[in-house]
Amino acid sequence: MARAKSPRNGNTRTTNAVTAPAVTNPEMKQNGSQTDLEAEIRRRAYELYAQRGYTPGHENDDWFVAEREILARYNQQQSA
């Protein structure tokens, strides 16, 4: 049986990686801080995960809580 091709033996096909959807808020795009907010949300979600003792299965909950906290702080700063 023939072996599957790999980068070492001549396969030149590339794969497309799937990425998580970005935070979509028109105000953030206008200010150019969408990436910064997403990075902050990611860090906060990881902190929440760590606080739970690195127990898997609550990724979405951690993300939504972190997103709510960060966006509330961002909106508060914008209105001040």
Label each residue of 39-65 as H, E or C. Answer: HHHHHHHHHHHHHCCCCCCCHHHHHHH
This prediction's pTM: 0.57
| Number of domains into which the chain is organized | 1
* Residue 55 included in any domain: yes
* Residue 2 included in any domain: no
pLDDT confidence of 4, banded at 50, 70, 90?
low
Q: Are 44 and 35 in contact (CB under 8 A)?
A: no
pLDDT digits (tens, 9 = 90+) for 11-38: 555 444 444 444 445 444 445 568 899 9
Residue numbers of the domain that contains 56: 26-79
* Residue 11 included in any domain: no
* Residue 12 included in any domain: no
How much is the pLDDT for 80?
Answer: 78
* Residue 61 included in any domain: yes
* Residue 19 included in any domain: no
